């Protein structure tokens, strides 16, 4: 093997290794700031599981600033949030088959659009920070009024609560809820 080719291959291998290690480091640092969480809700024979990353408020204005109004938000941080249900339900007013979906929202000042999408996405946003959601793969949408609880929620939180059940999203001074009928 010629010397030039050998050094070129070694150099390319080192660059690939550095890129891999750099990506792993960046991912670990990002997940420290927005740790992963799995919210699980079980009632009778229904199981709902939401996997998401939980960014902190850190004194920042959130909705209308960090998370702009009227634009698709991946709803959390890092990878796209997933919503899994083990049986057919009604999401808001939309029928939803058992399965795993990605969860997206379009926040507005008085009302949010909460969207379940049938495609799986890696990071959830492109290099420009724009949501990667393909609207043609949307399977369920629900409008949810914005509520302003007395207490501020420092870390973004998704839960499924109550009977009748509701998907609840909380962050800063905002809370939205989507009914889940089963």
Whole-angstrom distance, CA of residue 119 vs CA of residue 141? 15
Burial bucket for residue 91 (CB in 10 Å: 0-12, 13-18, 19+): buried
Stated pTM of the model = 0.82
DSSP 32: H
What does each of the 182 residues of the chain score in pLDDT, given as a tens digit?
677 666 766 666 666 666 565 555 554 444 556 899 999 999 889 999 999 999 999 999 999 999 999 999 999 999 999 999 999 999 999 999 999 999 999 999 999 999 999 999 877 777 777 788 999 999 999 999 999 999 999 999 999 998 889 999 999 999 999 999 98
């Amino acid at each position: 093997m010629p010397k030039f080719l050998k050094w070129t291959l070694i150099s390319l291998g080192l660059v690939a290794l550095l890129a891999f290690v750099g990506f792993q480091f960046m991912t670990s640092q990002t997940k420290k700031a927005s740790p992963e969480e799995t919210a699980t809700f079980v009632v009778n024979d229904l199981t709902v599981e939401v996997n998401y990353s939980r960014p902190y408020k850190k004194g920042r204005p959130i909705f209308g600033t960090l998370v702009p109004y009227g634009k698709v938000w991946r709803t959390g941080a890092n990878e796209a949030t997933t919503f899994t249900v083990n049986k057919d339900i009604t999401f808001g007013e939309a029928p939803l088959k058992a399965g795993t979906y990605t969860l997206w929202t379009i926040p507005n000042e008085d009302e949010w659009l909460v969207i379940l999408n049938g495609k799986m996405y890696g990071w959830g946003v492109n290099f420009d920070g724009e949501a990667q959601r393909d609207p043609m793969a949307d399977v369920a949408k629900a409008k949810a009024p914005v509520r302003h609880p007395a207490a501020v929620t420092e870390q973004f939180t998704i839960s499924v609560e109550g009977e009748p059940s509701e998907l609840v999203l909380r962050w800063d001074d905002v809370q939205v809820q989507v009914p889940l009928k089963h």
